[in-house]
Amino acid sequence: MKKIPKEYEIGDKDIDDLICELASKVGPEKTGHLLREILTTAVKLGRETSDKGDLKLVNNALKELRYSFKIFSPYRNVKKVIIFGSARSPKGSAEYKMAEDFARKLTRKGYMIVTGGGPGVMEAGNKGAEAGKEFALNIRLPFEQKPNPYIDEKDKIINFKYFFTRKLIFVKETDATALFPGGFGTHDEGFEMLTLIQTGKSRPRPVVLMEPKGSTYWSAWKSYVSNHLLKNGFIGKEDLKLFRIVKTVDEAIRYIDGFYRVYNSIRYVSGLTVIRLNKEISPKTLRLINQEFKDILTSGEIKRSPPMNKEIQEGECLKLPRVAMNFNMRDYGRLCEMIHAINRD
């Protein structure tokens, strides 16, 4: 007999009943259990801690997330590219000009741009983007980081107190990452993005390292990664496939477009990894990926698949073709390689 999970509750019937009543009044039935858990957590916090600092942290973080979801929700069906780079890059620098051109060409193709909202490369991204097609996720700092003047719609500026909520939204609400030369913050955001993809905590995505003409910034970085991280066994060789160094804006855009040419999205459901596709892949490509990527399967083959019951219940991409497999949930670099192979169909 299937074990029924214990209800997440306070344990005080009067309070639990009030929480259930409130949840039923403010949200649709399909999300009612989640609203009940959020409200229950808030009550538990109030009962378990009197530390004002703890409560302020949770309160501010929840408010930042709520507001961010509200701003991005109307645009979830539009592909977005996050631009990272130095806040200190001058207007005449090669990376500033490259970021501006990159944003201009991307938004002309229908993408939206997300930046950190500050000066330098971030400013260039907002400056180049077509009007109304960019967001700015600004961080409140005592120095250097004020919203740049090139954000067309002020309601698309979100000011964050915490780096961790800002970084979560960077990942959650975007579909591709572009890293320009920058300092500690750029490397922090870049390494975090690669780590999240490598460990399966983020969906696969294209990551481009933008190296302006005459620069060796990312080439030198890759040499360090290869000579120290890879050579010492701290990463696998397949992890070098998680990113690509590009020398031109057009090359970067081709790479981002190409990543979503056939591949659409991914879902882990019912013990299977389901890859949604923009078109049915050929029998030849299906045979190829089964031959070349059987090492990442725990059993069976990669097979065409109808939507899973969970996908049907939630109405997710029901008209798209799919393949499904028993992925080992470990070799995400190889999974990204497989996506590239599918996109060559």
Tokens 């977005």 -> residue: 80
How far apart are alpha carbons 195 and 6 in whole angstroms?
Answer: 34
CA distances from 216 to 25, 178, 181, 233 (A): 58, 16, 10, 25
> Alpha-carbon dihedral of residues 105, 109, 115, 117, nearest 10 degrees?
80
What range does the domain containing 134 cover? Answer: 74-259
| Nearest residue to 116 via CA among 147, 80, 150 | 147
Q: Is residue 104 part of a domain?
A: yes
Q: Quick one: residue 263, left, alpha or beta (phi over 0 = left, psi -120 to 50 = alpha)?
A: beta
> Same domain for 275 and 178?
no
Residue pair 327/297 in contact (Cβ under 8 Å)? The answer is yes
Residue pair 218/209 in contact (Cβ under 8 Å)? The answer is yes
Residue 45 bridge partners (DSSP): none
Q: Is residue 64 part of a domain?
A: no
DSSP letters along 71-100, please? HHGGGTTS-EEEEE--TT--TTSHHHHHHH
Residue pair 158/135 in contact (Cβ under 8 Å)? The answer is yes
Query: Which pLDDT belongs to residue 141?
Result: 74
> Same domain for 180 and 284?
no
Q: Is residue 280 part of a domain?
A: yes
Q: Is residue 8 part of a domain?
A: no
pLDDT digits (tens, 9 = 90+) for 265-289: 999 998 999 999 999 999 999 999 9
Query: Which pLDDT belongs to residue 93?
Result: 97
> What CATH number did the domain enclosing 210 receive?
3.40.50.450
> Same domain for 233 and 331?
no
Query: Which pLDDT belongs to residue 5?
Result: 58
Q: Is residue 162 part of a domain?
A: yes
* Domain end marker among 228, 259, 290: 259
In eight-state DSSP terms, residue 6 is: P
* Domain end marker among 240, 259, 278: 259
Residue/partner pairs of 182-190 with CB below 8 Å, 24 or more apart: 182/84, 182/85, 182/86, 182/87, 182/89, 182/120, 182/121, 183/86, 183/88, 185/84, 185/87, 185/116, 186/84, 186/85, 186/86, 189/84, 190/84
Sign, CA dihedral 47-50-51-52, equals positive
> Same domain for 218 and 307?
no
Strand, helix or coil for residue 287: helix
pLDDT at residue 261 is higher than 60: yes
> Same domain for 267 and 229?
no
pLDDT digits (tens, 9 = 90+) for 125-142: 999 999 999 999 998 876
How far apart are alpha carbons 344 and 327 in whole angstroms?
Answer: 21
> Same domain for 134 and 237?
yes
More confident of the two residues 246 and 31: 246
> Same domain for 255 and 267?
no
- Please state the rounded mean pLDDT for residues 318-342: 96
> Same domain for 286 and 243?
no
pLDDT at residue 144 is higher than 60: no
pLDDT digits (tens, 9 = 90+) for 34-55: 999 999 999 999 999 989 999 9
> Same domain for 193 and 252?
yes
Strand, helix or coil for residue 261: coil
- Please state the rounded mean pLDDT for residues 174-186: 97
How far apart are alpha carbons 185 and 317 in whole angstroms?
Answer: 36
Q: Is residue 62 part of a domain?
A: no
| Nearest residue to 210 via CA among 246, 184, 253, 242 | 246
* Domain end marker among 241, 259, 277: 259
Domain count along the chain: 3
pLDDT at residue 4 is higher than 50: no
Residue % of the chain over a pLDDT of 70:
97
> Same domain for 203 and 111?
yes
> Same domain for 100 and 214?
yes
How far apart are alpha carbons 116 and 88 in whole angstroms?
Answer: 13
pLDDT digits (tens, 9 = 90+) for 300-321: 999 999 999 999 999 999 999 9
- Please state the rounded mean pLDDT for residues 70-77: 96
Q: Is residue 59 part of a domain?
A: no
> Same domain for 212 and 244?
yes
Q: Is residue 65 part of a domain?
A: no
